C-alpha cells in the first residue's frame, strides 16, 4: 500500500505543471486577465504555508508569528496607500472587495435614507457603463430587487468618463459613487482625483445647507470625514501596477485592489475602508478584520500580496515608460491593418493596454489563430463570453455590435519584450486577411462611427 501510494504521489486530477508550461517563444499578452506570480513573491509566501502555518488568532507563539506577518503586510500596504493600517480589510479578491463595498454601504445607508426621506425612500448609487462585472452585477441585482436606485453614467466616445457627468448624477439620496481607476478592457484612465474632489465639495455644501436649515443637524460634521454620503469607491485593480494609489490625493473612501493583477497570488484582495466609513459585513463569523470580514486570514496570500504591491509600486514609473513604448509600437503596427480601429483614448490609457477592433471578422476566431501560434490574448466578442453578448465596454463607446465582435485585447506585462510585440505585428495581418477571405461580410468604415 505504502509503495503504491508513493508511486502515485501526484493526485490524478491535478494536471502536471509540465503539461501546462508554455513554449519559451510564446507571447503571453493577457496580463490584464492575470499575471504570473513574481518568483520573489512565491518565495516569500512559502514559509507561511509550510512553517509558520498557525492561525493568526491563536494566542500561542506560532500563532503570534502568523499574526505578526499579517500586521507587517498591513502596515506595508497602508504606507503605500498613505492610509492607516486599520483601514485595510483583506478579502478573497477584487470581486469580493467590490461586492463588500457596494452591499456594505447600501445596507448601512438604507435606514438613514429612510429616516430622512420616508419609509419608501431608496438609496441611490452612481456608477459608469464601463465598470467591471464585479461592480455592475451586484448593482443591477440590488436595482432589480428594489433596494437601490441606480444611475449608470456613459463614458465619452474615447472611453473616458467625464467627472462632471458623474457629479451631476449625484442627488440628495446618493450614498455611493463607484468609478474604476482604469478600465480592464480598453485601459482608459478615469479622472478619479477630479471626481473625489467633487464629491468632497458636494458633502461640504450639504453640511452647510443642513446647518442653515436645521441648525444642529450635523453639529460636528467635517466634510473630509466620511460620516455622511455620498461615499466614493474606486476599483483600482488594473491601475495598481502603473498609477499612483495615494488615497489622500484621490479622496476615495473605499478602494479595491487584488493580488492576481500585480504578479501576486490569486485569491487575495483588499478593500481600503477610510476611518469612519461603516460597512455592513457580508461574511459573518469569527470577527476577523475588525468584524468587517470574518474568516481565518489567508496569511501566505496576504504576505505575497503586500510584497507584490510593494514591487509593483516601486517600479511603476520605470515599467510604465518601458511599456508605453511597446504599447505604441504594437498599436502602430496593428492600425496598419485595413479597417481597424483603436478602442479607447490613445493617451489617457494604461501603458500595458492595446484594444483594437477589426471589421468583417469575429474576435474569437482571430484569438484562436493567434493561440495556435503561441500568442495569448483575449477578445470582446460575444462568442467568447458566457453571456453571448459582445463586450459591454466596447458597446458603451457607442460602437456597433459589428465592431464589438471583432475586438482583440493585448495586455502587456513585466515579461513582455519587443520580440513579443513584433511577433503579433508580423502574425496578425495574415490572420485577419485569411479570416476576411472566409467571411461573407464586407462592412464599410461607418460601422466604426
96 near other proteins, rule: CB under 8 A: no
Residue closer to other proteins by CB (options 274, 405) is: 405
The verdict on 445 binding other proteins (CB under 8 A) reads: no
Residues 398-417 that bind other proteins (CB under 8 A): 400-402, 405
Kindly state whether residue 136 participates in binding other proteins, applying the rule CB under 8 A. no
How many residues bind other proteins (CB under 8 A)? The answer is 27
**Closest distance of CB 179 from other proteins, Å:** 25
Selected binder of other proteins within 330, 360, 393, 424 (CB under 8 A): 360
Is 383 designated active site? yes
Least spacing, CB of residue 257 vs other proteins, in Å: 27
**Distance in angstroms (rounded) separating the CA atoms of residues 319 and 207:** 43
Alpha-carbon distance of 210 to 200, in angstroms, equals 15
Q: Does 449 bind other proteins (CB under 8 A)?
A: no
Stretch that binds other proteins, among 214-222, 299-307, 407-415, 432-440 (CB under 8 A): 432-440
Which is closer to other proteins, CB of 68 or CB of 441? 441
CB under 8 A: which stretch of 124-132, 182-190, 384-392, 420-428 binds other proteins?
Answer: 384-392
Which among 46, 62, 325, 383 is annotated as catalytic?
383
Of the candidates 407, 278, 390, the one whose C-alpha atom is nearest the C-alpha of residue 342 is 407
386, 419, 444, 446: which one contacts other proteins (CB under 8 A)? 386
Least distance CB 13 / other proteins (angstroms): 13
Nearer to other proteins, 115 or 441 (CB): 441
Pairing of strands 254-258, 231-235: parallel
Least distance in angstroms from the C-beta of 32 to other proteins: 20
Residue from the set 169, 382, 425, 427 that interacts with other proteins by CB under 8 A? 382
Judged by CB, which is closer to other proteins: 202, or 384?
384
Residue 340 sits in the site that holds other proteins (CB under 8 A): no
Selected binder of other proteins within 326, 364, 394, 428 (CB under 8 A): 364
CA dihedral (399, 400, 403, 404) positive or negative: positive
Nearest approach, Cβ of residue 302 and other proteins (Å): 31
Quote the least distance from Cβ 285 to other proteins, whole Å: 29
Angstrom distances, CA of residue 61 to CA of 44, 54, 57, 64, 448: 20, 9, 11, 5, 63
Task: Pick the piece of the chain touching other proteins (CB under 8 A) from 5-13, 32-40, 108-116, 434-442.
Answer: 434-442
Among 387, 419, 444, 446, binds other proteins (CB under 8 A): 387
Identify the sign of the CA torsion 301, 302, 308, 313: positive
Instruction: Verify binding: residue 438, other proteins, rule CB under 8 A.
Output: yes
Is 381 a binding residue for other proteins by CB under 8 A? The answer is yes
- Report the distance separating Cα 287 and Cα 183, nearest Å: 33
Contact region with other proteins (CB under 8 A), list: 98-106, 336-344, 361-369, 420-428: 361-369
- Which position among 388, 419, 444, 446 is part of the footprint of other proteins (CB under 8 A)? 388
Q: Based on the shown chain and the rule CB under 8 A, indicate whether residue 115 belongs to the binding site for other proteins.
A: no
CB of 140 to other proteins, least distance (A): 10
Nearer to other proteins, 332 or 389 (CB): 389
5 belongs to the binding site for other proteins (CB under 8 A): no
Cis amide bond preceding 230, omega within 30: yes
119 binds other proteins (CB under 8 A): no
Least distance to other proteins, CB of residue 91, Å: 23
With cell 455620498, the residue in question is 230
CB of 136 to other proteins, least distance (A): 13
Residues with active-site annotation: 383
Q: Which residues bind other proteins (CB under 8 A)?
A: 360-362, 364-365, 368-369, 372, 381-384, 386-390, 400-402, 405, 437-441, 443
Amino acid at each position: 500500500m505504502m509503495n503504491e501510494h508513493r508511486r502515485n504521489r501526484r493526485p490524478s486530477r491535478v494536471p502536471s505543471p509540465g503539461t501546462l508550461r508554455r513554449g519559451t517563444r510564446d507571447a503571453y499578452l493577457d496580463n490584464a486577465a492575470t499575471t504570473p506570480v513574481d518568483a520573489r513573491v512565491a518565495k516569500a509566501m512559502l514559509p507561511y504555508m509550510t512553517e509558520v502555518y498557525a492561525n493568526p488568532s491563536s494566542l500561542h507563539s506560532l500563532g503570534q508569528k502568523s499574526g505578526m506577518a499579517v500586521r507587517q503586510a498591513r502596515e506595508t500596504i497602508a504606507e503605500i496607500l498613505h492610509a492607516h493600517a486599520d483601514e485595510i480589510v483583506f478579502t478573497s479578491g477584487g470581486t469580493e472587495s467590490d461586492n463588500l463595498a457596494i452591499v456594505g454601504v447600501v445596507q448601512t445607508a438604507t435606514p438613514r435614507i429612510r429616516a430622512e426621506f420616508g419609509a419608501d425612500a431608496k438609496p441611490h448609487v452612481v456608477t459608469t457603463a464601463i465598470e467591471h462585472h464585479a461592480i455592475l452585477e451586484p448593482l443591477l441585482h440590488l436595482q432589480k430587487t428594489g433596494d437601490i436606485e441606480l444611475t449608470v453614467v456613459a463614458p465619452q466616445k474615447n472611453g473616458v468618463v467625464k467627472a462632471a457627468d458623474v457629479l451631476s448624477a449625484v442627488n440628495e439620496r446618493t450614498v455611493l459613487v463607484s468609478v474604476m481607476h482604469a478600465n480592464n478592457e480598453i485601459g482608459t484612465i478615469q479622472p478619479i482625483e477630479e471626481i473625489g474632489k467633487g464629491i468632497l465639495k458636494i458633502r461640504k455644501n450639504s453640511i452647510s445647507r443642513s446647518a442653515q436649515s436645521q441648525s444642529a443637524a450635523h453639529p460636528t460634521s467635517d466634510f473630509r470625514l466620511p460620516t455622511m454620503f455620498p461615499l466614493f469607491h474606486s476599483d483600482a485593480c488594473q491601475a495598481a501596477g502603473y498609477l499612483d494609489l495615494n488615497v489622500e490625493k484621490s479622496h476615495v473612501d473605499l478602494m479595491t485592489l487584488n493580488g492576481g493583477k500585480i504578479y501576486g497570488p490569486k485569491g487575495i484582495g483588499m478593500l481600503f475602508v477610510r476611518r469612519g466609513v461603516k460597512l455592513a459585513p457580508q461574511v459573518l463569523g469569527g470577527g476577523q478584520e475588525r468584524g468587517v470580514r470574518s474568516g481565518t486570514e489567508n496569511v501566505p496570500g496576504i504576505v505575497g500580496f503586500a510584497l507584490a504591491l510593494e514591487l509593483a509600486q516601486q517600479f511603476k514609473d520605470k515599467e510604465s515608460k518601458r511599456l508605453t513604448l511597446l504599447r505604441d509600437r504594437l498599436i502602430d503596427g496593428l492600425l496598419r491593418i485595413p479597417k481597424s480601429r483603436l478602442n479607447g483614448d490613445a493617451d489617457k490609457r494604461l501603458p500595458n493596454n492595446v484594444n483594437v477592433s477589426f471589421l468583417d471578422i469575429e474576435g474569437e476566431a482571430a484569438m484562436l489563430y493567434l493561440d495556435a501560434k503561441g500568442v495569448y490574448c483575449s477578445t470582446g466578442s460575444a462568442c467568447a463570453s458566457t453571456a453571448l453578448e459582445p463586450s459591454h465596454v466596447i458597446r458603451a463607446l457607442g460602437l456597433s455590435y459589428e465592431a464589438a465582435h471583432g475586438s482583440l485585447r493585448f495586455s502587456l506585462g513585466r515579461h513582455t519584450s519587443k520580440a513579443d510585440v513584433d511577433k503579433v505585428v508580423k502574425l496578425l495581418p495574415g490572420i485577419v486577411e485569411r479570416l476576411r477571405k472566409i467571411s461573407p461580410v464586407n462592412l464599410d468604415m461607418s460601422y466604426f462611427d
